Structures are given as structure tokens and as C-alpha cells.
Amino acid sequence: MLAQDDILETHDLHVTFGRQPVLREINLQVPRGQTLALIGESGCGKTVLLKTLIGLIRPTAGKVVFDRRELAELDDKQLTQERIRFGYVFQNAALFDSMTIAQNVAFPLRQHRKYRSDEIEKIVVSRLAEVGLPRSVITKKPAELSGGMRKRVGLARALVMNPEVLLYDEPTTGLDPIMSDVINELMMRTRSRYPVTSIVVTHDMNTARKVADRVVMVYPLARLDSHESQMIYDGSPDQIDQAADPRVRQFVRGEAGERLMEMQADDQ
């Protein structure tokens, strides 16, 4: 893969909170147009990695390169410009609860574009229709919607600025199996409609198998030897069942294995 094809890269990325290291020597290259699933158990640092990619968390060491520009070298204004090129779908949608659905979806447009209000309304309605929400929701407040609908509004808001990179943080967590599949379908439909690079943080193997071209598994540092790489799998979703590393196979199959013993040891 040629370097200029990569829209996002990390080089020797380290993130440490206080004295607790969360990410160590992460070297990840994401080519333009790829859909990458970051899998791993809760607390392994995958959400931290996602937030570091957009500059919500500053790396302790190493660098994040977006479209050949290092994020740490940008000033506030440039960083703002670059962030508009991202769409971030938050785990719990993170809608502004003081605003209506229409105001939420229109928020980035009002901040960064000079559209008339009827133009904004048209865009909002069409974006909501794309994620399968009726016009009637636009006057509602986020608290009046179900979890699945809120996630869809979150996706509509992330899409409204036509981002080049979409970051999904656990898009199907907390949803019923049918709604999870609706979200999976929406992610695939978004990808087929727009030339977008997607990074999906998930621990739902159905999502990883269905939407991703490539799967990277991140392992918690606490249970890793110091010489091991934190990314214990990097490959296609089809071959993950035959992965050489037993930890990967264990995760994919969802088996407790020796971890049950660990928990018992903790209890004593």
C-alpha cells in the first residue's frame, strides 16, 4: 500500500492516563475508502484510540497523521477545519438534549455554513429520511426517542457535513438484534452512497463481519507482555475464525475460557 493512499495513520502512538498506560506503540494505517472494524473487549482502549484519531484525546507520545498533516502541529483554527471532515457517531448518540432533533442535525450546518433556514430544513429532512426517520421527529427532543432512533439521529448528524471519515463508537451496543442490523445496513448503505472511510469500534462480531473490509483487534495492555504488540490481529474478517492467536479465536467465539479462573482468583 502506498503511503499517500492512507487517509489516517498513527505512528508509535502512546496514551497514558495518570500512571495507567492505555495504548502502546499503535501503528495503524487506514487507506482511503476502507471500512475498518476495531474490535476488542471493553476497556482495551479502542474508544480511546478512536478519540485520539480525531484529537479529542491528546496522545502522550507518537503522532496521528490525517491526510498527510500531523494533528498535533495544527493550530485551533486548522484543527477545526480538519474536524469538519470527520463525522463521529457517539456510543450513546451524544445528542444535545436541550435542542430538538432538527436543531441537533442542523447544528454543524449552522456553525460552519451560511445556509438559509429553509435550505437547512430541507437538508435535515433528507438526512433523516436517509437513516429511515420520518419528518415528524424533527420537533421532538432526544429524550422522547428510543435508543435506536437516537443512534440514527446521531448518524444523520454525523453525515450532514458530508464527512470524508466516519468514526463509529460502538454503533450497535445496547440495541436489540433487529435494530443492530438496521444500523449495520445503514452503515453499509452510507458507504455505498458516499466515498467515505469508516472506522467502527465494536465488540459485536456480527457488525465486524458484515460491514468491515479489515478487522484489527486491540488487546488490553494489562494482560499483555511488554514485548507484544497491542494489535493482536490485523486482517480480513473472513479469516479471523482461523486466526493463529488463541485470544483472537476466543474473542470471536465469545468464550470465557481461562478468564473465568481469573475472576475467581480476583475474588479470593
Partner 1 sequence: MTSIFNGSIPQASRFHMSSAPQDAISGRSRGPIEAIANAIADLGALTIDWVTALGDMILFALRTFSWMFSRLPRRETLVPSLYQIGVLSLPVVALTGTFIGMVLAVQSYSQFRAMGLETRLGAVINLTLVRELGPVLAATMLAGRVGSAMAAELGTMRVTEQIDALVSMGTNPLQYLVVPRFLACLLLIPSLTIMADFMGVAGGYFYSVYILNIDWFHYWDNSQRFVGTYDLFTGVFKSLFFGAAIAIVSCHRGFNCSPGAEGVGRAATAAFVYSFVLILILDLFLGILLDAIYYSIWSDVPSLI
- Site residues for partner 1 per CB under 8 A: 17-19, 22, 42-43, 45-48, 51, 54-58, 76, 80-81, 83-84, 86, 88, 90-92, 94-97, 107-108, 111-112, 157, 161
* CB closer to partner 1, 59 vs 237: 59
Q: Which is nearer to partner 1, 57 or 123 (CB)?
A: 57
Angle at 101 between CA 80 and CA 158, to 5 degrees: 35
Q: Measured from the CB of residue 171, what is the shortest distance to partner 1 in angstroms?
A: 14
Alpha carbon distances (Å) from 159 to 8, 176, 177: 19, 23, 24
Strand partners, 36: 199, 214
As a whole number of angstroms, the distance between CA 45 and CA 41 comes to: 9
| Of residues 14 and 210, the one with the C-beta less far from partner 1 | 14
Distance in Å, CB of 90 to partner 1, minimum: 5
β-strand 165-169 against 197-202: which pairing, if any?
parallel
Tell me the one-letter amino acid at 87.
G
Quick one: 45 or 62, whose CB is closer to partner 1?
Answer: 45
Alpha-carbon distance of 101 to 150, in angstroms, equals 9
User: For partner 1, which is the closer residue by CB, 88 or 219?
Assistant: 88
CA distances to 30, 129, 168, 188 from 34, in Å: 7, 25, 14, 12
Cα 151 to Cα 92: distance, rounded to the nearest angstrom: 7
Rounded to a whole number of angstroms, the minimum distance from the CB of residue 159 to partner 1 is: 12
Q: How far is the CB of 205 from partner 1 (least distance, A)?
A: 20
**Nearer CB in complex with partner 1: 166/182:** 166
What is the nearest approach in angstroms of partner 1 to the Cβ of residue 173? 12
In whole angstroms, how close is the CB of 130 to partner 1 at the nearest point?
18
Nearest to 168 by CA among 31, 35, 8: 35
